Chain A
Amino acid sequence: MKKTAIFLLLFLIPFLDPNSYHIEILATAALYALLALGLNIIVGFAGLLHLGYAAFFAIGAYTYALLNLRLGCPFWLGLPLGMGVAGVGGVLLGLPAVRVRGDYLAIVTLGFGEIVRIVVTNLEPWTGGPNGLLGIAHPVLGGFNFGVDSRPYYWLLLVLVGGIAWVCARLRRSRIGLAWAALREDELAARTLGINGTRLKLLALGLGGGIAGLAGAVFAAKQGTITPDSFDFILSVMILAMVILGGLGSVRGVILGAVVLSVLPELLQGFSTYRMLLFGIGMIGLMRLRPQGLLGISQIRRELQRAAS
């Protein structure tokens, strides 16, 4: 009930607040929330430290952009295709990566993230190189073109965030979610209990990658233009920061983390040059005071209490 009410309220915001700048910020926050939810499956659920997550976002964006520009593929077909291609990308890049653990995995995934960005930059005949791709079609729904207005994108992203959050919450409580948690806590013990670690890690990478692909397709359709520098290492780090700040593994937490980290820099506009300095200090302070993230352990504790009663 409460969730539905919050969802409806968020849905109505564009009617209550006609300021298009505010809606644009909210749409960006929702896009980040989608990315944070996807990365949370990989890092929070399965415990795989991934530093190249922006690569899947890029794969989704370029998949829709190319399908649209070359074949005239409509957005609503490009969306699942972008998700699928990025999901397959997650599994393929994961095949060599899941053989290593911890710090080494972080370095390998960082490498993959850069490889994807550099390939996109240099594959000029296809991707337009550093200039990117222009003129990607906006979504059209029943004759209504989304155009450049932020509101329809905000509504679309809100639906996607709601849907993916529901999927994540379900997954976390499922048999697979429990197996991920076991792998994250003690891989050896989990394996001796019959958990196929490699397969489950690839599943997490595939799902996480797919969600980034979904976000990428929406991003490409919204911007109409994409260039390789939209998918750099800083983006990967930013999404990871949202996941950790919000609370690793917590669905509500990572959404909150994404909203805070994407809205905060805008709220700090008034401090002009000191904006990012204050932002950094805020993050350090939060990690000192709440290392488990905004909705970290306390949420786990509440859930346990609910299970007990």
Chain B
Amino acid sequence: MRLLRIQRLTKRFGGLLALDRVSFDVERGKIVSLIGPNGAGKTTLFNCVTGVVRPETGSIRFGPESGETLEGCAPHQIAQFGIARTFQNIRLFSNLSVLENVLVGTYVRTKSGLLEALLPWGSGAHQEERWALDRCSRLLEQLDLISFANRLASALSYGQQRRLELARALASAPELVLLDEPAAGLTFQERQELMEFLQELKKQGLTILLIEHDMKVVMPISDWVVVLDYGAKIAEGPPKAVREDPRVIEAYLGSRSNG
């Protein structure tokens, strides 16, 4: 079943064509990888899907049947539909604790407002708070961060910060999670753990769209691979087929004539 459909998505930055009529589908419960050389438009595509930048033309639909229209929506609305993301250059709330960072992730799944903040007794605020704390502690445990729960996020190591960003995205209980180079800068050991964790998430029914440069990560875990080059889709298919596609090899290694 289709969860995300991107059709003829185009984005320009001045004279640069960052995305050129890109179309592809993401099936529910699959891990789809978006690969391509630097500057191919991968992060721009993520930014379009999450409402951070507005595409010029094209459509993004989320959900079954025709689904929700995402283009033109604000980032917070898109988050409410059930899409969460991480960033290539980690964007944590550095002066908040590790636990608080993850708690912010539960914002879309909780609703207590001003009155509940002042009169928590009797209202659902207490229950809600307990639910959020439970959920966050569980996520921190799964990602091996629970012993750092009360440290400031900025005090974590690089690999831990990447995991914390992932925990924060998952705390919003998304249907689709977009991960922008989650393995960048990780040690070999951390990479293995990340791959196992992503597969575990897939088993739980989560759909993952992933930007990744490391083929050792992409190939074993992806169900489908989409290749971008200069803003345009040049290939898509199962990992094995994509790896042998001559256009992909050319985009990555350069053609023989100019090499």
Q: Give me the interface of A with B, judged by CB distance under 8 Å.
A: 167, 170-171, 174-179, 181-182, 185-186, 188-197, 203, 304-305, 307-308
Contacts and interface: CB of A to CB of B under 8 A. Distances in A.
Contacts of A179: 104, 107
B230 interface: no
B228 interface: no
A196 B151 CA distance: 27
9 contacts: A178-B100, A181-B100, A188-B91, A190-B104, A193-B168, A194-B108, A196-B74, A196-B76, A307-B97
Given A182-B93, A197-B76, A176 B117 contact: yes
B76 A181 contact: no
| Chain A contact surface mostly | helix
> Which of A171, A175, A305, A307 has the most CB atoms of chain B within a 10 A radius of its CB?
A175
Contact of B117 (A170, A181, A192): A170
Interface in B214-247: none
Interface of B: 50-52, 74-76, 78-80, 84-85, 87, 91-97, 99-100, 103-105, 107-108, 110, 112-114, 116-118, 125, 128-129, 149-151, 168-169, 172
> Which of A170, A190, A194, A195 has the most CB atoms of chain B within a 10 A radius of its CB?
A194
A194 B150 contact: no
A33 B112 CA distance: 28
A192 B93 contact: no
Contacts of B129: 175
Given A175-B110, A181-B100, A189 B93 contact: yes
> Which of B74, B75, B80, B169 has the most CB atoms of chain A within a 10 A radius of its CB?
B75
A192 B100 contact: no
Given A171-B117, A307-B99, 16 more contacts: A174-B117, A175-B110, A175-B117, A175-B129, A178-B96, A178-B100, A178-B103, A179-B104, A186-B92, A188-B91, A189-B87, A189-B91, A191-B76, A192-B50, A192-B75, A195-B104
Contacts of B93: 181-182, 185-186, 189-190
Contacts of B85: 192
A181 B149 CA distance: 17
A63 to B, nearest CB: 22
B107 A177 contact: no
Given A174-B117, A182-B93, A186-B91, A191 B75 contact: yes
Contact of B114 (A191, A203, A308): A203
Nearest to B81: A194
A192 B84 contact: yes
A306 to B, nearest CB: 9
Contacts of B116: 174
A161 B180 CA distance: 47
B107 A178 contact: yes
Contact of A181 (B52, B96, B108): B96
Contacts of B50: 192
Contacts of A174: 112, 116-117, 125
A99 B108 CA distance: 23
B172 A193 contact: yes
A191 B52 CA distance: 9
A27 to B, nearest CB: 27
Nearest to A191: B75
A186 B95 CA distance: 10
A170 B118 contact: yes
Contacts of B168: 193
Contacts of A193: 76, 79, 84, 104-105, 107-108, 168-169, 172
B92 A189 contact: yes
A240 B100 CA distance: 27
Contact of A304 (B51, B76, B97): B97
Nearest to B152: A304
> Which of A178, A188, A189, A197 has the most CB atoms of chain B within a 10 A radius of its CB?
A189
A193 B94 CA distance: 16
> Which of B85, B114, B118 has the most CB atoms of chain A within a 10 A radius of its CB?
B114
A171 to B, nearest CB: 6
Contacts of A171: 114, 117-118
Contacts of B105: 193
Nearest first, the 10 A-B pairs at minimum CB distance are A194-B108, A194-B79, A174-B117, A185-B93, A191-B75, A189-B91, A308-B150, A182-B104, A196-B76, A192-B75
A42 to B, nearest CB: 15
Contact of A194 (B52, B87, B107, B149): B107
A192 B79 contact: yes
Contact of B107 (A167, A186, A195, A203): A195
Contact of A177 (B51, B108, B117): B117
A167 B114 CA distance: 10
Contacts of A178: 96, 100, 103-104, 107
> Which of B91, B104, B113 has the most CB atoms of chain A within a 10 A radius of its CB?
B104
A305 B150 CA distance: 8
Contacts of A182: 93, 96, 104, 107
